[in-house]
Amino acid sequence: MSLVMIQNLTKTYKNGKRAVDDLTLSIEQGTIHGFIGHNGAGKTTTLKCMTGILDFEAGEITINGHSIKHNPIACKQQVAYIPDNPDLYESLTGILYLNFIADVCGIDKNARETRIKRHAEAFELLPNLGDLISSYSHGMKQKLALISAFIREPALLVLDEPFVGLDPRAAHTMKEQLRAFCNTGSAVFFSTHVLDVAEKLCDNVSIIRGGKLIANGPTAVVKGDSSLESLFLELTDTNGDTQASEVQPV
């Protein structure tokens, strides 16, 4: 069942640059969906349109049947979004920040304590929650942002380059956490440049080039007999004569 429907999404910036061009794709419940493209391809713009940060001039995005244009609050209540460089309140300690997020989202005391402890232990951040966020390394800040998203238990988790800054152990933990999250019926939509991770982790992938969708479907179907990296390099080769064709789900 489709949790998110993006239909004919088009976003043009004031300078005339069309960042996303007639993009249509869906995100299914219980799946991890990778969104792949080179720098400037339109990935972050798409994510910001989905989460209500950016407006768009054409198309529609619905989350659980709610329109991000016409009912943005209902959509945002179901989504947790972490940008590629999340801004945190560095004058707070880690635990104060997580409690702040829990307060905003209306998570009761018992539930938040259980969730914070579970996810902080998984990311090995529990001993550091009493420290100021300003003292955290980049990787620790990334872990804290991820924990703040997981404790909300949203229907949809949207991540922009989530593996940047994570050490191998934390990246492994994150992959386990994402799969467990989707096993509850929720979904993950994330952009990434780490193609081997996308190939191994994602149920479905979409490749975007110049704002246009050029491949989309189950990962095994999209990549066929080649690796996802080989396919990506072929489809996004702007110097050669390769003609990209969309791969639709079977």
Residue 58 lies in a domain: yes
Element housing 176 (H / E)? helix 168-182
pLDDT at 229 exceeding the cut of 90: no
- pLDDT band with cut points at 50, 70 and 90 for residue 238: low
Residue 41 lies in a domain: yes
Question: How far does Cα 61 stand from its chain's mean position?
Answer: 15
Q: Find the mean pLDDT for residues 187-200.
A: 91
pTM, two decimal places: 0.89
If we measure between CA atoms, which residue out of 53, 45, 107 comes closest to residue 76? Answer: 53
Provide the residue range defining the domain that includes 229: 1-78+184-250
Q: Find the mean pLDDT for residues 221-244.
A: 74
Exposure on the CB side of residue 131, measured as CA atoms within 13 A: 12
What does the pLDDT look like over 101-151, one tens digit per residue? 999 999 999 999 999 999 999 999 999 999 999 999 988 999 999 999 999
> How many residues make up the chain in this entry?
250
Residue 154 lies in a domain: no
Residue 137 lies in a domain: no
pLDDT at 114: 97
Average pLDDT score, the chain? 91
| Residue in the block written with tokens 């969906």 | 33
Number of domains the chain is built from = 1
Residue 31 lies in a domain: yes
pLDDT at 65: 93
Distance CA 205, CA 199 (A): 8
Amino acid identity, position 10? T
pLDDT at 232 exceeding the cut of 90: no
Residue 57 lies in a domain: yes
pLDDT at 131: 98
If we measure between CA atoms, which residue out of 177, 180, 248, 242 comes closest to residue 215? Answer: 248
Residue 74 lies in a domain: yes
Q: Find the mean pLDDT for residues 30-54.
A: 94
CATH of the domain at 190: 3.40.50.300
Say which residue, 164 or 174, is predicted with more confidence. Answer: 174
Name all contacts of 95-100 with Cβ < 8 Å and 24+ positions apart. 95/129, 95/130, 97/133, 97/144, 97/148, 98/129, 98/144, 98/147, 98/148, 98/151
- pLDDT band with cut points at 50, 70 and 90 for residue 241: very low
Q: Find the mean pLDDT for residues 83-108.
A: 95
Residue 21 lies in a domain: yes
